[in-house]
């Protein structure tokens, strides 16, 4: 597919800076990283333009979670014809060095120009009726945004006090999928559970927490029960658990994935 003029302009106008995911500092993106992000964004846009959908889910690999059997660490909504651009990603990000979060709108080049592990990507198209309701909801933001500013990287699913990026995506999906639409985070998560959602279990041993340096303002273990902390088995909303839920509940229309730059069938962990 040929690049349209609007996308070429988007690529050329993209800022040359990205927020480093691990070092928590702003530094210029290298020409190679920017080039890689542009190639991925072009690939994703080409796929999005082939199907008439107002919104999709798009996932990226910002952190290496392979030891937990996971691939994708972050997910957002790519909204067609947003006021900021033809395809704009709406997602929740932790503010660097804090326990706060904010909702962000980014072009696809910027979305993939962060300090990522690699340029693997996955798109999930939703059933048309749900996709249209979701697009309408996202265009109305910040009204009923279901956003909790207090951020916890390992937020307990259904927590009233904390939220992370994947929890925001799940709760938004559930709020929109319910009829009528919900405007309460806790109610949205409860609805997702009734609809079949199950969190993943991430094991974090006590020694890893202390000796491994898993201590920081954006990681709050006390959000979980004493029993969970003793066992080290933490329920968490992961990208994989969101994809599994959407597939099993029949909300998925189509999926496309690239690994190492190659298009492939979606098989295995997300």
Delimit the domains of the chain by residue range: 5-264
237 vs 224: CA distance, rounded Å: 13
Q: List pLDDT tens digits, range 29-56.
A: 788 899 999 999 999 999 999 999 999 9
Q: List pLDDT tens digits, range 47-99.
A: 999 999 999 999 999 999 998 899 999 999 999 999 888 999 999 999 988 99
Q: List pLDDT tens digits, range 202-216.
A: 999 887 776 556 678
Contact in structure between 211 and 221 (CB atoms under 8 Å): no
84 vs 111: CA distance, rounded Å: 13
Pick from 100-104, 254-258, 261-265: least confident? 261-265
> Given this model, what pLDDT does residue 206 score?
81
Q: Which residues contact 247 (CB under 8 A, 6 or more apart)?
A: none
Q: Closest Cα partner for 202 from 169, 248, 155? A: 155
Question: Mean pLDDT throughout 226-248?
Answer: 97
Question: Mean pLDDT throughout 149-153?
Answer: 97
Q: Which residue has the higher pLDDT, 131 or 3?
A: 131
How does DSSP assign the chain, residue by residue?
A: -PPPHHHHHHHHH--SEEE-TTT-SEEEPPHHHHHHHHHHHHHHHHHHHTS--SEEEEEE--S--GGGT----EEEEEEEEETTEEEEEEEEEEPTTSSBEEEEEEEHHHHHSSS-S---EEEEEEPHHHHHHHHHHHHTTTTT----SBB-TTPPTT-SS-B-HHHHHHHHHHHHHSSSPP--HHHHHHHHHHTT---EEEE--HHHHHHTT--BTTB-GGGS-HHHHHHTEEEE--HHHHHHHHHHTT-EEEEEEEETTEEE---S--
Q: List pLDDT tens digits, range 162-175.
A: 999 999 999 999 99
> Given this model, what pLDDT does residue 31 score?
86
Token pair 């799940």 in the structure block, residue:
170
Question: Is 233's pLDDT higher than 80?
Answer: yes
> Given this model, what pLDDT does residue 216 score?
83
């Amino acid at each position: 597919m040929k690049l349209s003029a609007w996308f070429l302009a988007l690529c050329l106008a993209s800022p040359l800076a990205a927020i480093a995911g691990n070092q928590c500092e702003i530094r210029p993106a290298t020409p190679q990283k920017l080039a890689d992000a542009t190639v991925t964004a072009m690939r994703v846009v080409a796929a999005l333009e082939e199907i008439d959908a107002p919104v999709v889910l798009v996932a990226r690999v910002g952190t290496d979670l392979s030891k937990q059997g996971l691939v994708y660490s972050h997910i957002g909504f790519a909204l067609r014809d947003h006021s900021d651009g033809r395809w704009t990603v709406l997602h929740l990000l932790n503010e660097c060095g804090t326990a706060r979060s904010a909702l962000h709108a980014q072009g696809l080049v910027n979305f993939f120009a962060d300090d990522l592990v690699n340029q693997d990507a996955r798109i999930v198209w939703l059933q048309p009726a749900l996709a249209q309701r979701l697009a309408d909801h996202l265009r109305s933001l910040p009204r009923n945004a279901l956003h909790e500013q207090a951020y916890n990287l390992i937020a307990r699913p259904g927590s009233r006090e904390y939220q992370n990026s994947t929890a925001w995506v799940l709760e938004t999906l559930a709020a929109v999928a319910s009829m009528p639409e919900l405007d309460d985070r806790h109610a949205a998560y409860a609805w997702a559970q009734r609809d079949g959602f199950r969190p993943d279990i991430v094991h974090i041993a006590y020694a890893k927490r202390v000796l491994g340096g898993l201590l920081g303002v954006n990681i709050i273990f006390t959000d979980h029960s004493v029993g969970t902390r003793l066992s080290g088995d933490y329920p968490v909303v992961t990208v994989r658990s969101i994809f599994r839920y959407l597939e099993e509940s029949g909300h998925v229309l189509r999926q496309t994935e690239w690994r190492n730059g190659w298009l492939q069938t979606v098989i295995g962990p997300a």
